[in-house]
Amino acid sequence: MNALTLSRRRFLTYSGAAAAVAAAGGIGWKELADRTRTDPLPPGTGVLVTVTLYGGNDGLNTVVPAADPAYQSARPDLAYAEHEVLDLGEGLGLNPGMAGLKASWDAGTLAVVRGVSYPQPDHSHFRSMDIWQTATPDHPVNTGWIGRWLDGNGRDPLKAISLDPVLPPMLAGATTAGAALPLSGLALTKGALGTAFAAMGGASDGEPGPQAVAARSITDLHRTVATLGPAVDATTAAPGAGGKKAATSQLAAQLDVVARCVEMGAPSRVYSASVGGFDTHADERSTQQRLLTEVDAAVSGFLTRMAGTDRGRHVVLMAYSEFGRRVAANANEGTDHGTAGPVLVAGAGVKGGFVGEQPSLTDLDDGDLKPTTDFRDVYATMLSGVLGSDPAQVLGPGRSTLPLLST
C-alpha cells in the first residue's frame, strides 16, 4: 500500500485556491526562480519534516508497555515480552525494529508524546486522517493545517513540499497548495518541446478553475526545478555513483530528497513524507515490525545526516498516524481500529524524553485507550517553536505548547 491515501469524498478540494492561483499567474517562472535561487533559507531557520504513517499504526506495539500485565493479557499472541523491547524506562520500550531511534533516545534527541488523539476519536481511517491533517476535529474543512500556514506566510507553494505525487490535504490551503517533488528526478524536457511546455503554464483569462490549477502546476514545476532540481537529481544518480547507496525504502528515498534540499538551503520550511501499510488487522507482529524497521532505518539515517550540518540541526521531524489500535488483539493476530497513539518528535533541537501521560490499559473507553494529549498541542509547538509562527492563526485560540524543544 503506498501512501497517497485519502478517500475521494473527503479529499480536500481547494477550489478556492484555483481562482487565487489564476489571479496570481502573471509572474513568469524564470523571475520567480531567480528570486528563490538568490534567496536561500537563512541559516538557523527551523524546518519541519512530517512523516505520516498511513493505516493506523499500532501505538501499543510501537512504544510498548511491555511491563504492564494488562498489555500481556490483552494480546497473548501479539505482545512483545519485556526483554524484547528497547527499554525507555517507565515500563515502556520501543519496538525491537527501532534500534536507530533508541540511539536517538539515548542521545536525548527523541521525544515521545504519549496518548495523542483528540476528543471523541473517530475510527474511520479517512475521517480520522482528515482530522489530523486539517487539525479541525469538530467538522470537515477544506484546508490543511500547513496549507493555512502557507496562506498566512506569503502564499509560496515552495515553502511546503510534498514527496508524494498526489497532494496530501495537510498541504492544501485556501489560496495556496504546497508543491510536489517527484522522486524520479526533475529533468525537464529541453528544446522546443520544453519551451512550449513552460509556456503553457501561463494564466489564461476565463479558463475554468481546475484548468488554471493545471496551468499553475506547470509554472510551479519550473520554479521547483530551478530551486530544488539539483537536490532531487543528485538523489537519482545510479546506485553506487559517487559512493552513494541506493535508498532502501520509499520513505528513505523521500527523506534523502529532503536532506539534500535542506543541505542546499532550499527555501522550503515544511516537508511532508509518508509511508503506508499500517492497517494491521491480521498477522500484525511481522508486518508492523517490518514497517517500523523500515521507518527506523529511514528516519534515523536522516537524523544522523541532519545532525552533521548547521542547517540540518534546525530540522525537527514529527511522525504520527491517524489512530492507534484496539487494546485487545483480534483472532487473526491483528488489531482493529483504535484511538490514541504516540507521536515521535526528533532532531538535534528536540528535548528528549516522555511528554504526556501514558494511557491506562485498564481504564478503557469501550476497549479503547483514553487520550491524554491533544495532537493540536503538538502542532502548536511545531508552529511556534520550529516555524516561528503564531499557532492561533492556524489552529485557533487556546492551544498549549508542549516541552518538546530545547531551543
Partner 1 sequence: MTDADAIRRLLQRVGLGPRPGELARATTGGFDATLAALTAPGPDAGATATPPPAFPAPPAPAARTDVAARKAREQAEAAQARTLVVWWLDRMAAADAPYPERMTWFWHGHFATSVQKVKSAALMYGQNATQRRLGGGDFRALARAMIVDPAMLVWLDGTGNRVGKPNENLAREFMELFTLGVGNYTETDVREAARALTGWRIDAGGDTSSVNARNHDPGPETVLGTTGAYDADGLVDLLVTRPASPRFVAGRIWTRFVSDTPPDPATMDTLVAAYGANHDVTAVLRAAVTAPAFRDPASVLVRQPVEWLVAALRALKLPASKVAPAALRAGLTGLGQTPFHPPNVGGWPAGTPWLTTAAALARLKLAQALVAAADLSPVTDVAAGSRVEATAALLGLPAFTSRTAAALAPLAGTPPQLVAAALASPENAVSA
One-letter amino acid of 274: S
DSSP string, 201-227: TS--TT--HHHHHHHHHHHHHHHHHHH
Rank residues 45 and 330 by Cβ distance to partner 1 and give the closer one.
Answer: 330
3-state secondary structure of 303: helix
- When the beta carbons of 8 and 83 are compared against partner 1, the nearer one is 8
Nearer to partner 1, 46 or 157 (CB): 157
Give CA separation, 180 vs 117, 218, 222, 354, in Å. Answer: 28, 11, 12, 33
* Closer residue to partner 1, CB minimum distance, 144 or 342: 144
Complex with partner 1: residue 107 or 193, whichever CB lies closer: 193
Shortest Cβ 396–partner 1 spacing (Å): 23
Within 10 angstroms of residue 107's Cβ, the number of other Cβ atoms is 13
Read off the C-alpha cell for 392: 492561533
Distance CA 406, CA 345 (A): 12
Least separation, in Å, of the C-beta of 241 and partner 1?
19
Q: How far is the CB of 169 from partner 1 (least distance, A)?
A: 8
CB of 21 to partner 1, least distance (A): 9
CB of 223 to partner 1, least distance (A): 8
Comparison of 240 and 331: residue with beta carbon closer to partner 1 = 331
- Identify whether the C-beta of residue 71 lies closer than 8 Å to the C-beta of residue 81: no
Output 199 or 238, the one with its CB closest to partner 1. 199
> Least CB distance from residue 48 to partner 1, whole Å?
20
Q: CA 85 from chain center: how many Å? A: 25
Task: Compare residues 133 and 389 and give the one whose CB is closer to partner 1.
Answer: 133
**Min separation Cβ 164 and partner 1, Å:** 7
Tell me how far apart the alpha carbons of residues 112 and 117 are, in angstroms, rounded to a whole number: 14
Report the nearest approach of partner 1 to the CB of residue 373 (Å).
22
Q: Which long-range contacts (C-beta less than 8 Å, at least 24 apart) are formed by 208-214?
A: 209/15, 209/18, 209/19, 209/22, 210/15, 210/18, 212/18, 212/19, 212/21, 212/22, 212/25, 213/17, 213/18, 213/21
| DSSP string computed for 36-63 | HHTSPPPTT--EEEEEEETT---GGGTE
Which helix (H) or strand (E) segment holds residue 232: the answer is helix 209-235
**Coil/strand/helix, residue 161:** strand
